[in-house]
Amino acid sequence: MSQQIVVQPQPRMWLENSILQPYVSLYGAHLSRGRYAPSTQRVYLRCVAHFAHWLTGKRCGLSAIDEALVARFLSEHLPVCKCPYPVRRLRHELRAALSQLLEVLRADGVGTLDPTSRTVVAQELARFDGHMRDVWGLADSTRRQRGNIVGAFLLAHFGEGQITMSKIDAASVQRFVIGDQGRSAGSIRVIGGAISCYLRFRSMTGDQVGELAAAIPRPAHWRLASLPEVFSDAEIDTLLRSFEHPFPSHRRAYAMTRCLIDLGLRCSEVVNLRLEDIDWTNGTISLCRTKTRRTDVLPLPRATGSAIVAYLREERPQTSNRAIFVRHVAPYDTPIGRGVVERAVLASYRRCGWSCTGVHILRHSVASRLLRTGVPMKDIADVLRHRSLDTSAIYAKVDLTKLAAVAMPWPGSAS
């Protein structure tokens, strides 16, 4: 039993009589390294004890413990749980505690399945993901999205059986892409694009899938058909003033938001910023882990640099993580996710009394502001790191003053 974490007799007995007993001390050491509070460590160990008690009743072996088994515990057992006090039943606590347990088990080699023992669909998705990564060079987020869609497609058609593309007909592909209830044009494009990508992968292995690819619905999509939503300079000032009154982690939230507003960064790029990426002497910032996989160097505005410095000096916790923006709660030495950036911005919208829900509005606003000040489109594309001017062209539509100068009078109007 762990000497650092003290729990009640009942959960202690569950742990000692389970297959997880050899990992209790390792789990406690893992939480200590992550600087979890003692009270949180006790709660998490009781959550693991609950899971251990369920494993014992189900007679599950160590090799069976993975995300799927944890999901089964949460979805099947928890709603009908009658385990005695002091069992922990809060879903978010159990999910967090068991996520850390999986890390401990994997670090010890448990739960790392032999590829030959994986399901047919899992093996196929692994090959597809490797092809997208190594041959097509797709970003991690794109691969995850397409992998999830293709996984659902394969399970719907083959279950856990062998994958034989000749058993699929064009009508079933159409039904999957459109959905039973009917999907929006945007959803159809995303799902259809993922299935088309997978069929292209299968065609490279020799499958005849031309008829299936031709059956994928392609809803009408006119580029540049809509105006992007942008903030005016006054609204940007209002947004920045919403950080003046302190709140938990307000310096981090302010610095991250300034990166979005001043540099036009994506949320993922803010998360990936590291201490060594800033050249304080020359006043530049390097973007090395971007969507385009290129290293871009941008000038670092004084206001942005000052916000980052204030965060580093006054709020950033002590950590071995080299990321500029780090977690403020345990585990401290793991990177933050893009959700931290998104939540910080959405919270600022709420403080302003706005109903906006998109963080990308700030990136559009950067382009709009540059355009209004007369910056050429090529320079705007460079700042936003667009490979093609066509990608940046939508921002020209927000410059109503310049558009009005070239607009022809409407027939029958007073002008």
Full DSSP string of 308-360: HHHHHHHTPPP-S--BSSB-SSSSTTSBPPHHHHHHHHHHHHHHHT-----TT
pLDDT of residue 116: 45
The three-class DSSP label of residue 195 is helix
Catalytic residue among 328, 360, 372, 397: 360
pLDDT: is 392 or 262 the higher one? 262
Residue 33 annotated as catalytic: no
pLDDT at residue 3, rounded to an integer = 45
Percent of the chain with pLDDT over 90: 54
pLDDT of residue 391: 67
Which tokens belong to 220? Answer: 């009408």
Q: Which candidate in 46, 251, 266, 316 is catalytic? A: 266
pLDDT confidence bin for 1, thresholds 50/70/90:
very low
pLDDT score for 118? 63
Q: Angle, nearest 10°, between helix axes 361-372 and 233-241? A: 130
Query: Is 351 tagged catalytic?
Result: no
Alpha helices for 135-184 (secondary structure H): 140-158, 170-178
Per the CB < 8 A criterion, the answer to whether 105 and 65 are in contact is yes
- Which of 50, 88, 363, 369 is catalytic? The answer is 363
pLDDT at residue number 384: 82
Confirm whether 363 is a catalytic residue: yes
Number of neighbouring beta carbons within 10 Å of residue 196: 18
pTM (2 d.p.): 0.75
Alpha-helix runs per DSSP H in 205-301: 210-214, 233-241, 250-263, 267-271
Q: Annotated catalytic, 311? A: no
Between vectors from CA 263 to CA 259 and to CA 264, what angle results, nearest 5°?
95
The predicted model gives 1-27 an average pLDDT of 83
Tell how far CA 250 is from the center of its chain. 22
Is 53 assigned a catalytic role? no
Per-residue model confidence as pLDDT tens digits over 242-288: 999 999 999 999 999 999 999 999 998 999 999 999 999 999 999 88
What radius of gyration, in Å, describes the C-alpha atoms of the chain?
Answer: 26
Contact 250, 351 (CB under 8 A): no
Token pair 């044009």 in the structure block, residue? 185
Q: Which residue has the tokens 């002497």?
A: 281
With a CB cutoff of 8 Å and minimum separation 6, the contacts of 114 are none
Pairwise pLDDT comparison (400 vs 43), residue with the higher score = 43
CB 47 within 8 A of CB 27: no
Adjacency order of strands within the sheet including 284-287: 278-279, 284-287, 296-299
Per-residue pLDDT averaged across 202-216, rounded? 91
- pLDDT, one tens digit per residue, over 90-133 is 999 999 999 999 999 988 877 654 444 467 888 899 999 999 99
Query: In sequence order, what are the residues at sequence separation of 6 or more whose Cβ sits closer than 8 angstroms to the Cβ of residue 52?
Result: 14, 15, 18, 19, 20
Catalytic, 291? Answer yes
Cα separation, 98 vs 45, in Å, equals 9
Query: Taking all residues of the chain, what is their mean pLDDT, rounded to a whole number?
Result: 87
Answer with the residue of higher pLDDT: 194 or 385: 194
- Which of 291, 302, 322, 402 is labelled catalytic? 291
